[in-house]
Structure 1
Amino acid sequence: MPVTPDQDLAAVAGAASRRLLERLDDLIERVIAEIVADDPAYTDFVPHDDLWQTIHRILRESIDHMARRALGEEPVVTTAVVIGRRRAEQGLPLESLLRAFRVGGRICWEAMIEVVSEADPGSLPVLLRFASIVWHTNEMQSNAVSESYRRTESELLRRSGERMAALLDALLEGRGADGGLAKAAAAALDLPMNGRYAVAVLRSPRRDDGFERPERVGGLRFVWRMRADADVAVVELGGLEPQDVAAALRPLFAGQAGISPAVDGLAALGRARWLAEVALQTCRPQDHRIVRLDERLPAALVVSQPELSGYLGDTVLGPLDALDPADREVLLETLATWLDCEGSAARTAGRLYCHRNTVFNRLRRLEQLTARSLHRPRDVVELALALDALDLVAPDNPREPRTA
């Protein structure tokens, strides 16, 4: 609001400002008393000495500039910007801060009327022209303090988010054995140091899959860390189990996910994250499943030792490579289905839509080619692990996608 210079008003305002500065300490105490009476929680955020010094600075700045405002000079808001930043750092609600500014503006105007009435009552009609300038100055200061507060609040939230992400990364990277780091993470993330946890690693076929990451499901609390290749969730279990995590995620997530066993304490999250990643690796590319490590241990052994597993697959099932690809796939699919059906030829035949004798003939042929017997448990283990190796760690010699 442009102010038309007014010499008479400037003279009255200048005289009033000199008298107000003489009463500045009393004026500060009046403002503080009314702020605290109106908002008793104010001093829970702002110590009394800090409040006194702040009001001293803003009142002195405003009073010093009264005469110059009457001459058309724009209000100075430097102190208001500083106050907005400091109160945001202290956590004072913005509403309380703006109310305090209104209280200060009103008391300052009332004090101006008092000193002019005492010293020069005839100038009161001139002083009334100053009212709009007082309230415009208060508005400009309030706007400046609001903008500074909100900017600082956004910066603090960003810094807080970055700090929490860094602490969570440190835990997931296995640095939780550092007691100081674990304590800092527990405080920042609001997680118990010695709680029970699981880690889930989720991989979606599309980065923007519409998945809404929950913070709580039932009695489970999720703390999320988004990464370029996957999402990682630290799950506070309480009295629940990893299977409850899988059950909570299945209705929400359509991709692949691996879930670790339960671990004790934040210090174990690095190991839990690794186990969850191993569980995830046991999902075949075409699978859209949420799997727990404890239900995929044989496959987990395979993916955790890819070089050795590749050698196992080549050694045990390599003789099938000499067959026609379609013939090879028929034998491998029959073996996989027989294993899924727990060794039942009848169920295998039903799954593959063939006669059970056909199943026996295919399995017998596979035994001959691999020199393994499906009647010897150790050979069955070798064949099952070799089949997982072909599915999971042999990209150069892949099988057709399994439907089972």
Structure 2
Amino acid sequence: MRAATLAFLAEHRRARVDVLTDRLVATIEASNPGYRATRVVPRADLRSSCHDNIVRVLELLDAAVDGRGTEPGSAARDPAYDAARATGRRRAEQGLPLDDVLRSFRMGGRLIWDDLVEQARSTLDADELREVGTRVWEVVDETSAQVAAAYHATERAAVRADEQLRAELWEGVLSGRAKEPGFAHEAARILDVPVDGDYLVATGVDLDTARLEHALGSRPNVWVRRSGGAVGLVALGADGPDDVLATLAVDDGGSIGVSVGVEGLAGVDTGFRQAVLALRTLGGRPGVAAFDDRLPEALLLTSPEVAGRLVAVWLGPVLALPPAEGGPLLDTLTAWVGAGGSTTHTAEAVHCHRNTVINRLRRVGDLTGQVLLDGVPPLELALAVRSLAIGRVR
């Protein structure tokens, strides 16, 4: 019985492949809307794929009936499914939806089965035909599985390649390559941002970028995750920086540094450096730091030796005291600088009597050898306090 079935299958494969190929191509073009509507698969490609897969399905059917079928779990390594995998890869590259690809394989399976029934009517008995039918759909199912696996693998590879390209373009923009017009236009096209126009550059840690994108609404903005945080470009348009800064403040759990407005992608590298400096002035605290509002702190961050010396001269003796003694002095000094030298406002800020403030300031003057209480706080002291606040010097 099996010999007769195998002989029939061999003859059927020899005689019917081209007929089945023509029929399947016509069926797909007429009945599969994905192929008909998108036209992304050239007809020669479709015919070649139909031919190769029909040949493979009939060969696999012959092997299955003869007891030489693929071992369970080994189809992914079996070269007999190479046509199916090649089709899955090509259709993913062409952008044809997987559902349309698998629909074509089901059409092919039905076409092969109907043709086998018609051709075997006078050759195989009911039991033989039933066995052939079982094997046909087993082969078609496994072939479809291999198509889907190859399709998904190709999609994942394309996503990785796209992510890598986007990451490379981002790094180029942030490092200044957008000053080259060719690179700037390519980056704008891939990242979907304008080449020209004013931008704010923002960078931060612990940011909910999806929330920020939603809050920014119709303003063009794009964000990328980088090691240690995220970077964003926000197009200013007709809005001023203050509006954008207020919007960025919705992320109340993160720390964000924001540049001044920069001109086009060519200025983003400058904006990025400013945003990084502004972020550093927060010293890890949550909030939004605008570069223009943090210029003294930014200056200190770029001059660590000067910052360190300012702290040593103006605050060193206070910092050397035990915390219980030095802490109140430092808090009072910081509040006094922030109040512009007003002892009354300082007393309100630190919740003590004005005379206590005066006594503490005199104590600091005795420790440091600096004269306080005469007018506004010295610039050097204000810078030393800022240095300490941003955590550059401990």
What is the CA deviation profile of residues 42-61 of structure 1, one whole-angstrom value per residue up to 9, with x for unaligned ones?
Answer: 42x32222222211211233
Residue 233 (structure 1) aligns with: 231
Matched, 1:15 2:15: no
2-side partners of 1:74 and 1:267: how far apart? 61
Cα distance change, pair 22–314 in 1 and its aligned pair in 2 (3 A): closer
Is the CA contact 1:367–1:374 (under 8 Å) kept in the aligned structure 2?
no
The size of the alignment, in residue pairs, is 376
Does residue 181 of structure 1 match 2:177? no
Inter-partner Cα distance in structure 1 for 2:391 and 2:209: 30
The question of whether the paired residues in 2 share the 8 Å contact of 1:255 and 1:288 is answered with yes
Shift in alpha-carbon separation, 1:318–1:170, aligned structure 2, 3 A: same
Residues 42 and 113 (structure 1 numbering): CA distance in 2 closer, same or farther, change over 3 Å?
farther
Does the alignment pair 1:300 with 2:298?
yes
- Please say if residues 32 and 103 of structure 2, whose CA atoms lie closer than 8 Å, have aligned partners that are also in contact: no
Query: 1:352-371 residue pairs with structure 2 within 5 A?
Result: 352-360=350-358, 362-363=360-361, 369-371=369-371
In the TM superposition, residue 102 of structure 1 has moved relative to its aligned partner by 0.8
The answer to whether structure 1 residue 273 and structure 2 residue 275 are counterparts is no
Q: Pick which of 218-227 and 269-278 moved more.
A: 218-227
Shift of 1:361: 5.3
Amino acid of the residue matched to residue 102 of structure 1?
R
SS state at 1:370 partner: coil
Counterpart of 1:85?
Answer: 89
1:145-202 deviations in whole A, cap 9, x for unaligned? 1111122222222232233223222322333323343333323322222254333332
Of 85, 95, 99, the residue aligned with 2:99 is 95
1:364 to partner: Cα distance:
6.2
The structure-2 alpha-carbon separation of the partners of 1:329 and 1:18, relative to structure 1 and needing over 3 Å to count, comes to: closer
Question: Which position in structure 1 is the counterpart of 2:56?
Answer: 61
Q: Which residue in 2 is equivalent to 1:375?
A: 375
CA-CA distance at 1:10 after TM superposition = 1.7
CA distance in 2 between counterparts of 1:139 and 1:322 reads 78
Change (3 A) 1:275 1:305: same
Is the 8 Å Cα contact of residues 88 and 149 (structure 1) preserved in structure 2? Answer: yes
Residues 3-402 of structure 1: matches in 2 within 5 Å?
Answer: 6-21=2-17, 23=19, 26-36=22-32, 39-43=35-39, 45-64=40-59, 66-74=61-69, 76-114=80-118, 116=119, 121-123=121-123, 125=125, 128-129=129-130, 130-203=132-205, 212-214=208-210, 216-218=213-215, 219=217, 220=219, 221-227=221-227, 230-239=228-237, 240-284=239-283, 287-315=285-313, 330-360=328-358, 362-363=360-361, 369-371=369-371, 374-375=374-375, 380-392=378-390, 395=393, 398=394
Please give the alpha-carbon distance, in whole angstroms, between the structure 2 residues aligned to 1:383 and 1:268: 35
Question: What's the TM-score once normalised by structure 2's chain length?
Answer: 0.81
Can you list the C-alpha shifts for 1:233-284, whole angstroms capped at 9, x where unaligned? 2132343455455544544442433222232322322222211121122124
Identity %: 32
TM-score by length of 1: 0.79
Paired residue for 1:207?
A: none
After TM superposition, give the deviation of residue 144 of structure 1 in Å: 1.0
- For residue 95 of structure 1, report the CA deviation from its aligned partner: 0.7
Partner Cα distance (1:176, 1:107) in 2: 56
Q: Aligned partners of 1:249 and 1:353: how far apart in 2?
A: 33
Match of 2:75 in 1: none
CA–CA distance in structure 1, aligned partners of residues 59 and 319 of structure 2: 93
- 1:20 Cα deviation after fit: 0.6
Whole-angstrom distance in 2 between the partners of 1:69 and 1:20: 19
> Unmatched 5+ residue regions in structure 1?
205-210, 399-404
Question: What CA distance in whole angstroms lies between the structure 1 residues aligned with 2:225 and 2:364?
Answer: 46
3-state DSSP of counterpart to 1:223: strand
d(CA) in 1 for partners of 2:47, 2:111: 15
User: Is contact 1:341-1:347 (8 Å) kept?
Assistant: yes
SS of 2:67's equivalent?
Answer: coil
Which one is further off, 182-191 or 50-59?
182-191
Cα distance in 2 for partners of 1:122, 1:328 equals 105
Distance of aligned partners of 1:235 and 1:327 in 2 relative to their CA distance in 1, 3 Å threshold: same
